[in-house]
Amino acid sequence: MGERDVEVNEPIKVLIVDDAPTVRAMLSRGLSEEADIAVVGEAKDPYEAREQIIQCRPNVIILDIEMPRMDGLTFLRKLQTHYPVPVIMCSGVASANSQAALKAIELGAIDFVAKPASGGSMALRRLGEDLADKVRAAVIAMPVPPQIPPATVNQRRTLRSVGLNPAHYLVAIGASTGGTEAIKDVLSQVPEDFPPVVIVQHMPVGFTKSFAERLNQYSAMTVTEAVDGDTLEPGRALVARGDAQMTVSRIGNQLRIVYGSDERVNRHCPSVGVLFDSVAEQVGGRAVGVLLTGMGADGAQGLLNMQERGAMTIGQSRESCVVYGMPKVAAELGAVQQAVAPGNVSNAVIGALQSRIKETAVR
């Protein structure tokens, strides 16, 4: 849908659908300071929302998951048939709700936001910034590209079968809008003996544990939410928590996860850039950086720093991105050595590591 019929210089029209008046009010207030965004309607349930859609013709819909008469996932399916507009889900952080939010992304929602816990000025300001970024990303998001069919076990190359020791390497992945599905596509294709993987996906606190559990269902690797002090080992993928900066540090002979402050970097906590910078410093040429779909520039400079320290670098291809933002900036900086779709990242990593060994042997 491209630009979603948004006229130049006209604000992005947003409809908020939530059965709680306080939540509707906080979401509306959170967006009220954004000159390029206008809340044009509010609805307490999908039936009321249908009337608002006819009247307001919103460019983006913010949709609650749990509502009376019709739940958000059911309404999302109906929207995709009758009014295919970008949708941002609004979810509580309880496990069942966070799983439903991830399911909504699988069904075609662009992103999700955590329900505001309070109406304090700092919370509202942060909510407004986050939600505004998501709305802007949603309105330019491309339709979700067709998924690559999963490879069979026999088709997947293991590292040891091609003479590579996975314990010698580390793969760092960063993503934002559209990244939950892109990361799933990456990890569903990796072999069991893949190098350790560290992941930053821009995501509210309370969702990362459910996200890791969901990824674990699709991957030959063991995927968990990262815990401070976790050891990085082959066959294991660790997802950063949503409330602290995650880095990699060499402690003795082992690489471990270290959590730091909750300060935002590049407007994000956790930040892809913070992770990538630590990997560049601690791992250097034995690392692979992968920057996937997302709005903005977080991770682009970090990917360049990794490359300058000898790491191999991969960016998601333009045509496979929901939002070609972060990998685009990285490519413009000259930080992307290969551009591939998420389902091809595993083969790209293994191929790059093989080439590195051959180059070293020739020298």
4 part of a folded domain: no
Which residues participate in catalysis according to the annotation?
A: 176, 202, 298
Q: Which one of 105, 140, 175 terminates a domain?
A: 140
What number is the average pLDDT over the span 259-287?
Answer: 96
Give yes or no: residues 191 and 338 share one domain. Answer: yes
> What pLDDT is recorded for position 153?
39
Give yes or no: residues 20 and 82 share one domain. Answer: yes
Give yes or no: residues 115 and 218 share one domain. Answer: no
Contacts of 32 (CB under 8 A, 6+ apart): 39, 128
The tally of CA atoms less than 13 A away on the side-chain side of residue 77 is: 5
- Please state the domain count of the chain: 2
Q: Which one of 140, 163, 190 terminates a domain?
A: 140
Mark out the alpha helices in 67-120 (DSSP H runs). Answer: 72-82, 95-107
Give yes or no: residues 176 and 72 share one domain. Answer: no
Question: Percentage of the chain with pLDDT > 90?
Answer: 74
Number of Cβ within 10 Å of residue 55's Cβ equals 11
What number is the average pLDDT over the span 101-117?
Answer: 89
Give yes or no: residues 136 and 208 share one domain. Answer: no
More confidently predicted of 119 and 174: 174
Q: Could you give the C-alpha distances from 345 to 171, 291, 316, 342, in angstroms and in order?
A: 11, 10, 9, 5
CATH code of residue 96: 3.40.50.2300
> What pLDDT is recorded for position 46?
95
Angle subtended by helix axes 208-218 and 179-187, to nearest 10: 40
Domain of residue 126 covers 12-140
How far is residue 129's CA from residue 131's CA, in Å, rounded to a whole number? Answer: 6
pLDDT digits (tens, 9 = 90+) for 41-59: 999 999 999 999 999 999 9
What number is the average pLDDT over the span 4-10?
Answer: 58
How far is residue 294's CA from residue 141's CA, in Å, rounded to a whole number? Answer: 9
Least confident piece of the model among 26-35, 242-251, 287-296, 331-340: 26-35
CB 131 within 8 A of CB 113: yes
Give yes or no: residues 224 and 286 share one domain. Answer: yes
Residue 83 has pLDDT above 70, yes or no: yes
CATH code of residue 202: 3.40.50.180
Least confident piece of the model among 3-17, 142-156, 172-186, 263-277: 142-156
Residue 5 has pLDDT above 50, yes or no: no
> Which two three-digit tokens encode residue 266?
């590049």
pLDDT digits (tens, 9 = 90+) for 191-228: 999 999 999 999 988 899 999 999 999 999 999 999 99
Q: Which one of 140, 171, 200 terminates a domain?
A: 140
